[in-house]
Homo-oligomer: A and B are copies of this chain.
């Protein structure tokens, strides 16, 4: 059983893929293998059933089975956050409670599409957080590129002030470097409690985000081992070395970040690294064609040349 999300969470929380067989059934054995892989990479936490986990293509019972298997496989060695965003608050709450009972460290919630103003976002979050109660730590996901929901730094700060159970901010509005700085400054541990800020958006600005005070990253990038080493270098005050390491991987990171097909590319890399059995994405979803494969081959050859080590090596 994992402990709950700590108030000072930091580091690399990997967004876990959900492994499927080629025919679309869930590959539970690959969940175990994938967790081992992430642990070998040294990740500090794991978020399951996010966008990269194809949560929208799972039934409710599959959702719960997948969350349980990830949590069980992690054996409490790292905290597991479960993505519970859902059009219905009752379903959201049910999945959240079941996940916490199964040992989750917290849940991640993204405001649903259709909220137009800070007032509307706050109203929505109040409804959800009242149902979830005080005992479930919540990571608020700010991903307007997907949800279409924009809220201000001030709106998030109001959530922090109203709801003690908010335990983490997943920052991925783009462009969003100034919003990060604003929240970082406001949650300074004096005027307001501190707040772990983990950055997503594929990690495309991660070194800049660290320099602006981010506590870590939360992405599905297929080389979380690099991010873990980068985090350690930043923590050791070696920011330039950290960014040098990151820059070696930037070409493949940028390639993975393409909407839609990016998920298929990530799963293919995870497959090549031995982390999952099949790169299958559930329908409707992208499939790599011969051009895509050749392109990926070449980018990985370049990565191996630059880093001097095999892609499969952690």
Q: Which residues of A contact B (CB under 8 A)?
A: 24, 54, 56-61, 87-91, 94, 112, 114, 116-120, 124, 127-128, 131, 144, 150-155, 174-175, 177-178, 181, 204-205, 208, 211-212, 240, 243, 247, 250-251, 254-255, 258-262, 282-284, 289, 291-292, 295, 298-299, 302
Q: What is the total number of copies of this protein in its complex?
A: 4
A291-B90 in contact given A127-B283, A261-B175 (Cβ < 8 Å) = no
Q: Contact: A240 with B302, CB < 8 Å?
A: yes
Whether A291 and B181, one on each chain, are in contact in the complex, defined by CB atoms closer than 8 angstroms, is yes
Q: Are B117 and A282 in contact (CB under 8 A)?
A: no
Contact B117 A155 (CB under 8 A): yes
Instruction: Kindly list chain B residues whose C-beta atoms are within 8 Å of the C-beta of A58.
Output: 88, 91
Distance (whole angstroms) from the CB of A79 to the closest CB of chain B: 27
Q: Roughly how many angstroms separate A147 CA and B6 CA in the complex, as a whole number? A: 39
- A90 and B24 in contact, given A174-B258, A255-B205, A295-B211 (Cβ under 8 angstroms): yes
A54, A120, A131, A254, most chain B CB atoms within 10 A: A254
Residue of B nearest to A289 (CB): B178
Given contacts A90-B282, A178-B261, A250-B254, 4 further A-B contacts (CB under 8 A): A24-B90, A120-B152, A175-B262, A208-B255
Q: Which residue from B118, B204, B262, B295 sits with its C-beta under 8 Å from A152? A: B118
Task: Point out the residues of chain B lying under 8 angstroms from A59, CB to CB.
Answer: 59-60, 91, 94
Q: Which residue of B lies closest to A131 (CB)?
A: B283
> A265 CA to B181 CA in the complex, in Å?
18
CA distance A223 to B138 in the complex (A): 43
**Please, could you name 10 A-B residue pairs with CB atoms under 8 Å apart, sorted by A?**
A114-B260, A117-B151, A174-B259, A175-B260, A177-B292, A181-B291, A204-B254, A205-B255, A212-B291, A240-B302
Bound CA span A260–B123, Å: 15
Find chain B residues with CB under 8 A from A87 CB.
56-57
Point out the residues of chain B lying under 8 angstroms from A283, CB to CB.
Answer: 88-90, 127, 131
Bound: A87/B54 CA distance, A: 9
CA–CA, A155 and B118, complex, Å: 10
A259 to B88: give the CA distance in the assembly, Å. Answer: 17
How far is A208 from B112 in the complex, measured between Cα atoms in Å? 29
Chain B positions within 8 Å of A302 at CB level:
240, 243
Q: How far is the CA of A289 from the CA of B178 in the complex (A)?
A: 9
